[in-house]
């Protein structure tokens, strides 16, 4: 009899405990696209394949200067004046490609522990232009204390 009561109490305890799965619930992060395009300088801009988190004006100005060193890439930005007390910039640069039509998509999600940036390189279908390009995507998000992880 005591064994049965112990089993029942243990079962109730296990069922009443909350699950840690609540921490893994993913939610979209509100973001604003600043630019999604290609650099056409055949690498002369000096920007390698990389994922950047920019949280200050100096780093932002340095990136814009590099991007504009061959062509004025920032002419097509939706904005260049960023309030870094409110926003963080996520900038993703792909490797240099031997043809045009490449496009980077960012899917930005968060859970209770991280902000996760999923980067997808959309490869052109059919005939692509024979021009050397370097796809990039620059997006801003509201500041957060959560670490940003790229996948």
> Do the beta carbons of residue 52 and residue 90 sit within 8 Å?
yes
Which residues have a Cβ under 8 Å from the Cβ of 69 and sit 6 or more positions away? 41, 44, 45, 46
Query: What residue segments make up the domains of the chain, in order of their start?
Result: 21-150
pTM of the model: 0.82
Show the tokens assigned to 108. 């930005």
**Which parts of the chain register pLDDT below 70?**
1-23, 125-129
pLDDT at residue number 126? 58
Show the tokens assigned to 134. 């370097």
pLDDT at residue number 113? 97
């Amino acid at each position: 009899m005591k064994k049965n009561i112990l089993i029942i109490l243990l079962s109730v305890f296990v069922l009443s405990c909350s699950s840690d799965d609540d921490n893994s619930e993913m939610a979209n992060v509100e973001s604003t696209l600043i630019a999604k395009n290609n650099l056409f300088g055949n690498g002369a801009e000096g920007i390698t394949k990389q994922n950047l988190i920019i949280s200050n004006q100096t780093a932002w100005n340095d990136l814009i200067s590099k991007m504009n060193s061959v062509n004025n890439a920032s002419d097509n930005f939706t904005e260049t004046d960023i309030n870094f007390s409110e926003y963080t910039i996520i900038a993703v640069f792909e490797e240099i490609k031997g043809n045009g039509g490449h496009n980077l998509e960012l899917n930005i999600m968060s859970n209770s522990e991280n902000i996760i940036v999923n980067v997808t390189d959309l490869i052109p279908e059919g005939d692509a232009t024979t021009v050397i390009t370097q796809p990039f995507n620059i997006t801003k998000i509201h500041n957060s204390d959560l670490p940003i992880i790229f996948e």
